[in-house]
Amino acid sequence: MTRQDPGCALCGIEPSERICNNPQGKNPPFCPTVNFSNTVKSAVNETCNGTIKEFALNASIQESEAYSGKELGYAKLKPAKSRIEEIMDFAKRMNYRKLGLAFCMGLRSEAKAVEKLFSDHGFEMVSVVCKVGGEPKESLGIKGHEKVRCAEIFEAMCNPVAQAEVLNEAGAEFNILLGLCVGHDSMFFKYATAPCTVLAVKDRLLGHNPMAAIYNLDSYYRGLKA
């Protein structure tokens, strides 16, 4: 088969009939299970035999334990845990004691609440705000009209590389992202040495719930469509 770019999001096969979900299943021509089989095989080997194995095992158990009603059959499954509970459970499962919290200044109240919650559950918390260092945006070449306040006044740049490196140095074993901006989150992921998870993404307009636009794509957000 000719190798094609993967297109799982376009897959029209019933989930239970897909080759990735059923050993006797079917696949469309853009299927990475078939077209990237060597890559997948080597990734499976890494996941099941490499240094990531314990992490992968616990993530998989975590996934399964996020449901209740399993004894009643697949159709009766119910979600059992919020994301924050899952993060806490997973960190306990992995025996992480010291957690890093990388948060946005705009979510400082939420960060305080999260910090307390995790601390009260026995974790050692270290946290770094996005503006750490107080570096002026001019250091990035930002002009007054490109600032949030649109003026020649001091604005500290977001500093996700510093957030990551401070948390690396502080010995965070697992990082939790809270409200980092698009792009800044990517930089944090790139520079953090400990594994990272996201408690919440930044969505200023939608109360940090970006899926609201997707759920309303055929109604109030139809104007987003090309």
Compute the residue count for the chain.
226
Helices (H), the chain: 32-35, 37-49, 53-65, 83-93, 108-120, 160-170, 184-191, 211-215
Q: How far is the CB of 41 from ligand SF4 (least distance, A)?
A: 14
Q: Cα–Cα distance between 66 and 34 in angstroms, integer?
A: 30
Q: How far is the CB of 12 from ligand SF4 (least distance, A)?
A: 8
Question: Between 27 and 58, whose beta carbon lies closer to ligand SF4?
Answer: 27
Q: How far is the CB of 65 from ligand SF4 (least distance, A)?
A: 24
Question: Between 18 and 208, whose beta carbon lies closer to ligand SF4?
Answer: 18
Residues 30-59 close enough to bind ligand SF4 by CB under 6 A: 31-33
Residues paired with 125 in a beta bridge? 99
Written as one string, the DSSP assignment of 82-99 is: -HHHHHHHHHHHTT--EE
Handedness of CA 37, 43, 46, 49 (dihedral sign): negative
Q: CB under 6 A: which stretch of 29-37, 55-63, 112-120, 197-205 binds ligand SF4? A: 29-37
Question: Between 20 and 181, whose beta carbon lies closer to ligand SF4?
Answer: 20
Q: Are 62 and 83 in contact (CB under 8 A)?
A: no
Q: How far is the CB of 20 from ligand SF4 (least distance, A)?
A: 3
Q: How far is the CB of 77 from ligand SF4 (least distance, A)?
A: 20
Among 2, 5, 19, 63, binds ligand SF4 (CB under 6 A): 19
Spatial CB neighbours of 110, under 8 Å, sequence gap ≥ 6: 103, 178, 179, 200
Contact set with ligand SF4 (CB under 6 A) = 8, 11, 13, 18-20, 27-28, 31-33
